[in-house]
Amino acid sequence: MTGPSRLIAACSRRWLLAASAGLAVIFGVANAKAAAGHDGSWRVLIITEVGSCDQAYSFPVQIVGNRVTSNGGTADVTGSIRPGGSVAVRVSSGSSFANGTGRLGTGSGAGRWSGKGSSGVCSGRWQATRG
Instruction: Read off the pLDDT of residues 12-69 as tens digits, 9 standing for 90 and up.
Output: 344 333 333 333 333 333 344 444 589 999 999 999 999 988 888 888 999 998 999 9
Q: In this structure, are strands 96-104 and 108-117 parallel, antiparallel, or unpaired?
A: antiparallel
Q: What is the pTM of this model?
A: 0.69
CB-based burial of residue 80 (10 Å sphere; 0-12 exposed, 13-18 middle, 19+ buried)? middle
Give the whole-angstrom CA distance, residue 92 versus residue 45: 14
pLDDT at 110 (0 to 100): 97
From CA 13, how far away is CA 130, in angstroms rounded? 47
92 CB-side CA count, 13 A: 5
Task: Tell me the pLDDT tens digit for each residue of 64-98.
Answer: 989 999 888 778 899 999 988 999 999 888 888 99
The pLDDT of residue 131: 85
Provide φ and ψ at 81, rounded to 5°.
-120, 135
